[in-house]
Amino acid sequence: MEKKYNLERYFEVIIEAGLYSRAERLKFHLEYLFKGIDFSGKRVLDIGGGSGKYSFYAPFKGAVETICIEPEDAGSSSGVISKFNELGSLLDVENVSIETTTFQDFDPGDRQFDIILLHNSINHLDEDACIDLHRDQGAQDIYQGLFDKLNGMATAGAILIVCDCSRNNFYPFIGFPNPIDPGIEWNKHQSPETWSNLLAISGFSKKSIRWSSLNPLGKVGRVLFGNKLMSYFTTSHFCLTLQNK
């Protein structure tokens, strides 16, 4: 018999683990991140998924398998893997696992995935190449190889979700740190158009580019700040959704 999961238990555990501030804000964010996505019967790949905040959400929405790639030994925050295992124990979910390797070294075997998530991790696949991606053919070739590999493990019609900050932002333009997130290294990011163009060569067609708003402001914030212009004056964070051809 298929195991049934209580979604409220997911929110309870994630909040208690300190991975999000409040359940209603997390719900709002997840609805935005996975807008229009049906997890039922799907296989999910969460690349750079950290301690599994999104990986563990998938089975609660009907996914049959989720793999989280998190190379803790390659520079991730200390304790990420132990936190993942702790969440797995508390949530008591099946078919959610973690691979402590880089995407470059990940071997999916004969598995293919229906939903692939790169949440604030696409620039970390190869940071050195990412810096020059918009102007250097060699850097583009490196990422093209990575995206070709991604295409090879995606089912026909698979959904790819890419979230990150664009390199284009008001504050670095005027030489000031971003007041919302002063730690952003803008030179290690690229615009959603740059990512979309490269991914198109590897077989992923763009469905939409959405601009994130300040989550604590809820629906009002989404209306006021969820566009390219206003995002330019906040964190320039976007959500790019594509589909494998």
Looking up residue 131, the CATH number of its domain turns out to be 3.40.50.150
Residue 1: inside a domain: no
Number of domains in the chain: 1
Q: What is the mean pLDDT of residues 91-118?
A: 96
pLDDT at residue 70, as a whole number = 94
pTM as predicted: 0.94
| pLDDT at 75 exceeding the cut of 50 | no
Mean pLDDT within 66-90: 83
Task: State the pLDDT confidence band at 78, using cuts at 50, 70 and 90.
Answer: low
Backbone angles phi, psi at 113, to 5 degrees: -120, 145
Give CA–CA dist 75/81, Å, rounded.
12
Q: What's residue 74's pLDDT?
A: 46
Decide if pLDDT at 128 tops 60: yes
In a domain, 2, yes or no: no
Q: Range of 230's domain?
A: 7-244
pLDDT in tens, 173-184: 999 999 999 999
pLDDT of 1 higher than 70 = no
Residue 239 within any structural domain of the chain: yes
Confidence of residue 4 (pLDDT cuts 50, 70, 90): confident
How far is the first Cα of the chain from the last one, in angstroms, to the nearest whole number? 34
Q: pLDDT value at position 72?
A: 75
Q: What is the 3 state secondary structure string of 153-182?
A: CEEEEEEEEEEEECCCCHHHHHCCCCCCCC
DSSP strand E in the chain: where?
Answer: 43-47, 65-69, 96-99, 113-119, 154-165, 204-211, 237-244
Whether 168 is in a domain gets the answer yes
In a domain, 214, yes or no: yes
- Residue 202 falls inside a structural domain: yes
Mean pLDDT of the chain: 94
Q: How far apart are CA 98 and CA 70, in angstroms?
A: 7
Specify the pLDDT at position 129: 98
